[in-house]
Amino acid sequence: MAQTTAFVGVNVIPMDRERVLTNQTVIVRDGKIAEIGEVGKVKVPKDAVMVDAKGKYLIPGLVDMHTHLLSDDDAYPDTIAPDELRVMVANGVTTVRFMIGTPELLKLRSQSASGEIVAPTIYVASPHLTGREQGNNFVVKSLDEARDAVRKSKAAGYDFIKVTTFVPGLVYEAAVDEAAKIGIRVVGHADSRFVGVERAWKAKQQIEHLDGYIELLLKTDAPMKGSVSDLYIYNPENWKSFDYMDESKIPDIARKTVASNRFFDPTHHFMKNSFGRLRTEDEMRAQPDFKFYPAKVQAQWFDFYKRNRFINTVPLEKRARWVELREKLIKAIVDAGGKMLAGSDTPEFLWLYGFGLHHELKALKEAGVSNYTVLAAGTRNAHEFFGTLDKIGTVQKGKQADLVLLNANPLDDISATKNRAGVMLKGTWYTQAELDKWLDEIAPKIAGSYVEKH
């Protein structure tokens, strides 16, 4: 179906560089941006669906670089996956990277590409390489196992090799070597006790979560080597390391990061608001995404926050200091020329995909960078990382028409990404009223699909 759409009178934020083109007409045809120009200078075809976009702001579709589905887990059926993907679209998220691969996600990737389902453009990292069994993984303890896992992942069609925790350094190096040989990139954690950031830098890995970075800030004469990255966050002992932090190391760390791999994905909101400043139960209940979770899961998370030893023993000031250091790292890496990516790490901890990406944009802004830098993280930088920026990721003639129409200017206030008039996915226009209806219909379906594991 060849649909032509015309956005008339719109302010375009093309994201090729920092600028706003006012009072434009944007014509979309066959899934692509066919024309952009000043109102009156661009002819609107007779058959075009007109979108009155006067005074509104058009940005590229948003990208979540770190997410998962509830249906990755056995507790939810695979049949809810298309609805989960629609929740993302309804929030303006038009491209996603799933960070722990499954065969089901590969199938969804091709169903999305062929137009069989209404879904974002999908990238899928491999099942994660880990040193200990954790589900949807390759447990790699030897060099051969590591090379084998990499080859199998590439053959299965995964887009990246994902590494998480407990992988011995030499085993990691074998995985990296094999990945380079067969042409697939390595992304993920840099377990501070096993791999370490320095080794990950050498491998030019794209690092998630600023994993291992807080350990780099330890004073040389600190009585411990460990700190709170990754799963080590849960041990209150590790929080003693905050008496030995050396901030003056940050500029050098930032330079080395950019020299290794300019792209970094701090998943800062997830860290800050799951472990730093904690929500009250009332705040969780008030979230618009709360109703997508079954009562049982809501109760489990309430319980987690009540009982967790780290949550209940580490003082708020220490956790605030951790957040502050993370924000200084983010700012320094950006200042050194780093390209930030926006990852929500949803849907754990009662933060749902789609909604979570907007939290991440806000959190990145709180690190002290510009709104343009944040918007680039949530749009074009991801496509630059994927190597597809010539086809998608900016509002320019010839690009794939993944667009979000906002009621306010996100370069003034990044929270404008939550104030949407509608979303265009691969050239098909949906008003936000329609999308909100989807969300209302889908919430009870997802919550009701949950089957408790035995």
Residues at the site binding Zn ion, with contacts judged by CB under 5 A: 99, 345
Strand spans (E) along 13-115: 21-29, 32-38, 49-52, 57-60, 62-67, 93-98
Q: Closest CB to Zn ion among 99 and 216?
A: 99
Q: Which residue has the tokens 């919430």?
A: 443
Residue 367 has phi, psi (to 5 degrees) of -75, -5
Please report how close the Cβ of residue 68 comes to Zn ion at its closest, in angstroms: 6
In our burial notation (b when 16+ CB lie closer than 10 A, e otherwise), range 443-453 reads beebbebbeee
Please report how close the Cβ of residue 188 comes to Zn ion at its closest, in angstroms: 9
Q: Closest CB to Zn ion among 286 and 304?
A: 304
Q: Closest CB to Zn ion among 66 and 362?
A: 66
Q: Closest CB to Zn ion among 172 and 351?
A: 351
Partnered with residue 319 across adjacent β-strands are none
> Hey, what are 311's tokens?
């949550």
For residue 282, the one-letter residue type is: D
Q: Closest CB to Zn ion among 57 and 138?
A: 138
Q: Closest CB to Zn ion among 88 and 99?
A: 99
Please report how close the Cβ of residue 454 comes to Zn ion at its closest, in angstroms: 25
Q: Which residue has the tokens 């379906």?
A: 445
Residue nearest to Zn ion (CB): 345
Is the separation of the CB atoms in 62 and 417 below 8 Å?
yes
Please report how close the Cβ of residue 76 comes to Zn ion at its closest, in angstroms: 16
Please report how close the Cβ of residue 89 comes to Zn ion at its closest, in angstroms: 20
Cα 91 from Cα 94, distance rounded (Å)? 9
Partnered with residue 60 across adjacent β-strands are 403
Please report how close the Cβ of residue 345 comes to Zn ion at its closest, in angstroms: 4
Please report how close the Cβ of residue 208 comes to Zn ion at its closest, in angstroms: 7
Which runs of consecutive H residues, i.e. helices, occur in 344-392? 355-366, 371-378, 380-386
Which residues does 68 contact at the CB level (< 8 Å), separation at least 6? 98, 99, 100, 345, 346, 347, 348, 353
Q: Which residue has the tokens 């709104």?
A: 371
Question: Using the 8-state DSSP alphabet, how is residue 355 labeled?
Answer: H
Please report how close the Cβ of residue 393 comes to Zn ion at its closest, in angstroms: 23
In a 3-state reduction of DSSP, which class is residue 428?
strand
Cα 306 from Cα 272, distance rounded (Å)? 18
Q: Closest CB to Zn ion among 35 and 64?
A: 64
Q: Closest CB to Zn ion among 13 and 228?
A: 228
